[in-house]
Amino acid sequence: MNIVWWHWLTLGLILIGLELIIPSFTIIWFGLGAVIVSIVLASLPSCPLSVQILIWTVASALLTFAWFRFFNTRLDRTKAGSSKGAVIGETGLVIRGAQQYDKGTVKFHLPLMGADEWPCVADDPLAVGDRVRVVDVEGHVMKVEKIAKGDK
Amino acid sequence: MEPAAVVFAILFLVVVVTIFMGVRLVPQGFEFVVQRLGKYHSTLKPGLNFIIPYVDIVAYRLTTKDIPLEIGAQEAITKDNAVIVANAIAFIKIVDPVKAVYGISNYEYAIQNLVMTSLRAIIGEMELDLALSSRDIIKARLKDIISDDVTDWGILVKSVEIQDIKPSESMQKAMEQQATAERLKRAMILEAEGKKEAMIREAEGKLEAAKKEAEAQMMLAEASAKAIEDIAVAVGDKELPALFLLGDRYVNAIQKLSTSPNTKNFVLPADILGAVKGIAGRSV
């Protein structure tokens, strides 16, 4: 069987189409690789099969690598449903102060994870009325840090 | 097929497998725990991730959405020794996937049992009536007790809702029996009170009647006395007419006696005058 350029193009389009059905973000690079091979084959019809497969392999690997290296910009994503993402960075008000190694209580504007009041710990002593920011969640305790006055 | 093509085809397969192993697409709401050569390495966040093929493996896939956990119905004994049945639903959330997979072997089972035992402990400190009527208190206490235990497991118990809390079947039966017995007691007391009152009334009636009777007798006696007195006054010294009247009545009475149907023999007194005198109580 003699493989010509449009065979590669068809294979490439099928693989790109498969990406829609199986969203794994890997098949598309092999599809694009096949499209590149079809372009090479159209301009160089005498290219042997082994070289064609090699081009496909290298092109696919390069495209995958390039995506992760250069184009995979981490866009701002929603943090809904993530483990701590929705809570870290929230600011609240200390309503019960605490010394170090003691638990205080912090109150939030809106309920966070099912409650608007949480026990909290901090590295520095907390006084009633301090504004704090959540830095970590440890079980049922919020780890917070004080926000300096004027700091937003 | 030329030998070079076979080698390149195999190379292609290796590249495909490698890329497949390296690219990890984590859906929103999940987090993957990655181990590098058997040790924890990192946690993959939602989105497209790249791990080093062959060295890194995704060891655990965890959901970070809230997980509803059914806490099956169980019997608990209250402070006053009543058996009640309670079941609940807990909403938990994994806040630290690493602790959740390495801190405990089966967090769902652990939390289910933790809630169960805590629920029993809380109900054990309450009286039956309080336990049946204060879900909110139970909820708050439950959350309180559990929170310390779950810290090591990277899990947050968002809320525990008591679905059903009711006395056990035998307890319900006993409560019903108690209610029935109380009603029966009341009915019996009411009946007895009715009888008592009836008897008192009856006795009172009798007493009243006796009083009236006595009064009547007294009045009769008084009237007789008065009549005798009157007769005595009327008779005065004129004894004969009175004696005649008395004798006449006496004779009449004897006459009636003689005609009475049950009379067999009759003896007439010979000395009528003497008899009459005896009746009048005087000597003529």
Q: Does B2 touch chain A (CB under 8 A)?
A: yes
CA B29 to CA B26: how far, in whole Å? 8
Q: How far apart are CA B96 and CA B16, in angstroms?
A: 33
Residue B284 has pLDDT above 50, yes or no: no
Q: Which domains does chain A have, with CATH numbers?
A: 5-75 (no CATH), 84-146 (2.40.50.140)
Q: How confident is the model at residue A75 (pLDDT cuts 50, 70, 90)?
A: low
Position A80 scores a pLDDT of: 67
Respond yes or no on whether ipTM tops 0.85.
no
Mean pLDDT over B74-102 rounds to 87
Of the two residues B10 and B256, the one the predictor is more confident about is B10
- Average pLDDT score over chain B: 85
Summarize the confidence of residues A56-80 as an average pLDDT: 76
| pLDDT band at residue B68 using 50, 70 and 90 as cut-offs | very high
DSSP B199-262: HHHHHHHHHHHHHHHHHHHHHHHHHHHHHHHHHHHHHTT-HHHHHHHHHHHHHHHHHHHHHSTT
**What whole-number percentage of chain B has pLDDT above 70?**
93
Residues 90-149 of A with CB under 8 A from B: 113-115, 119, 137-141
Strand, helix or coil for residue A3: coil
For residue A79, pLDDT over 50 is answered with yes
> For residue B58, is it left (φ>0), alpha (ψ between -120 and 50) or beta?
beta
Selected residue with higher pLDDT from A104 and B198: B198
Helix (H) or strand (E) segment spanning residue A15: helix A5-21
Q: Which of residues 45-74 of B touch A (CB under 8 A)?
A: 45-48, 50, 64-65
The pTM of this model reads: 0.63
pLDDT digits (tens, 9 = 90+) for B214-269: 999 999 999 999 998 888 887 777 777 777 887 788 888 878 877 777 766 766 66
Whether residue A82 and residue B159 make contact (CB cut-off 8 A), yes or no, is no
> What is the pLDDT averaged over residues A21-45?
86
pLDDT in tens, B118-155: 888 888 888 888 887 887 888 888 877 887 788 788 88
Other residues' Cβ atoms within 10 Å of the Cβ of residue A86: 15
Mean pLDDT of B6-21: 87
Residue B265, SS3? coil
The share of chain B scoring above pLDDT 90, in percent, equals 25
Rounded CA-CA distance B165/B71 in Å is 12
Contact A81 B28 (CB under 8 A): yes
Q: Greater confidence, B212 or B92? A: B212
What percent of chain A is modeled with pLDDT above 90? Answer: 5
Strand pairing of A115-121 and A91-96? unpaired
Instruction: Give the residue from B10, B12, B158 with the most A CB atoms within 10 Å of its CB, the best one to mutate.
Output: B12
Q: Strands B155-167 and A115-121: what pairing?
A: unpaired
| Whether CATH 3.30.60.50 fits B66-167 | no
Q: Is A91 exposed, middle or buried (0-12, 13-18, 19+ CB in 10 A)?
A: middle
